Structure 1
């Protein structure tokens, strides 16, 4: 398995790793990864790796069998052989925007308290799909409420529960179509706010900012009808 450094510290921008091997598709398998691997609607990180005598752009990172992470090259260059020690460097600006957007989407699921049927995170724009038969009456009011939550500068923390605890508390899961990954004994919960000021708690393996104030102002865009009861709500980072 690859040690998921991004899960322990979302603000870590660089880290050393050792090459374990290559996939048949040409990805680099590493023993520890600062690159987030594509999952849960969040894109894999990009950046580059460097080692004595070589450098390679990384286009994205993906999950592999057995809990490993593969770094996908962004260019055709000679691959470092297994055993090579290299330095991983994130495209930090892109990752940080993903962190801001991902946290903002958690808050969107608070403002629109309906089951979530899908989602996607981008560096500038993200969206959640809701089981929403009728469109909201006042989008401007939703926008104001969402930005007010962001402006409270609430702490974003994490805790872990067992698989059994999650199964015993199905209300923690907001998504209808995708269950959080279970089977490894424990599940990570992301909490926004603390104590009486808690506004959200849900399973999530993505990267988030440490406080909601880091998100900055967002804007709710078009609300699109996607099927009989499905509606897509998009938001954009304003800076």
Structure 2
């Protein structure tokens, strides 16, 4: 089991860890991982590991068996032996952009309050697919509302509820294509705003910024028709 550093501090970019296993595919499993594994539409983290006498570039990160987090090297190479203490170095510039964009997509689901049928987080361009038979009439108004919530610098926090509470409140789940992880007894909710100023609350396992003002300006891009009921809405990070 890899303990996820990113769950308690998404801003931590360097930390130590110990190699507990290698995978048959050439991946590395650490006891504690800075690296977020691909999931929920968010790509896995990249960066590098160092140890006395060695280093390895990490191209991406994926989920392994059970609660393992597997760091995937950029190319086949000698790995730190099991038991080695390593230093983890996250590609922080990339991770921070993904955090900004992921939080931005949560806001997009607020300005377009329709069921989400898919999505993908990217560094500079991301998308959500909506159950939306007709395209929005005024995309400029949607973009203005999106950036107004960013300018409001709303706090982004997390809370946890039980599996049973989530089952009793199905309206919390916006995404039809990705079911919230159940079975551990509790589910993480990401909240944007607080009190009467709360604008969003939904299950999510990804990494997010601490306040919406950190996102920066977002620009709505193309809105594509994807089947009879679906529209794909792109959003771009400007700067």
TM-score band, normalised by shorter chain:
over 0.9
Task: Tell me the distance in 1 between the aligned counterparts of 2:135 and 2:24.
Answer: 47
SS at match of 2:141: helix
2:105 — aligned with what?
A: 105
Task: Tell me the distance in 2 between the aligned counterparts of 1:225 and 1:42.
Answer: 23
* Deviation sequence 1:3-49 (CA, Å, 0-9, x none): 01111100000111100111111100111100000000000000000
1:192 — aligned with what?
A: 192
Offset of 1:234 from its aligned partner? 0.4
Offset of 1:176 from its aligned partner? 1.2
SS at match of 1:94: helix
2:117 — aligned with what?
A: 117
2:93 — aligned with what?
A: 93
- Number of matched pairs: 239
2:177 — aligned with what?
A: 177
2:37 — aligned with what?
A: 37
1:217 — aligned with what?
A: 217
Task: Tell me the distance in 2 between the aligned counterparts of 1:213 and 1:2.
Answer: 32
Task: Tell me the distance in 2 between the aligned counterparts of 1:143 and 1:109.
Answer: 12
Task: Tell me the distance in 2 between the aligned counterparts of 1:167 and 1:15.
Answer: 36
Offset of 1:75 from its aligned partner? 2.3
TM-score normalised over the length of structure 1: 0.99
2:147 — aligned with what?
A: 147
Task: Tell me the distance in 1 between the aligned counterparts of 2:73 and 2:178.
Answer: 29
Task: Tell me the distance in 1 between the aligned counterparts of 2:2 and 2:164.
Answer: 25
TM-score normalised over the length of structure 2: 0.99
Task: Tell me the distance in 1 between the aligned counterparts of 2:11 and 2:88.
Answer: 14
Contact residue 119 and residue 128 of structure 2 kept, 8 A: yes
Task: Tell me the distance in 2 between the aligned counterparts of 1:167 and 1:88.
Answer: 37
1:231 — aligned with what?
A: 231
1:18 — aligned with what?
A: 18
Task: Tell me the distance in 1 between the aligned counterparts of 2:210 and 2:218.
Answer: 17
1:73 — aligned with what?
A: 73
* Deviation sequence 1:131-167 (CA, Å, 0-9, x none): 0000000011111110111110000000111111111
SS at match of 1:65: coil
1:163 — aligned with what?
A: 163
1:206 — aligned with what?
A: 206
SS at match of 2:101: helix
Task: Tell me the distance in 2 between the aligned counterparts of 1:147 and 1:66.
Answer: 39
Task: Tell me the distance in 2 between the aligned counterparts of 1:165 and 1:25.
Answer: 39
What are the ranges of 5 or more consecutive residues in structure 2 without an aligned counterpart? none
Task: Tell me the distance in 2 between the aligned counterparts of 1:224 and 1:52.
Answer: 51
What are the ranges of 5 or more consecutive residues in structure 1 without an aligned counterpart? none
- The reply to whether residue 57 of structure 1 matches residue 57 of structure 2 is yes
SS at match of 1:66: coil
Which of structure 1's runs of 4+ aligned residues deviate more than 3 A? none
Offset of 1:177 from its aligned partner? 1.9
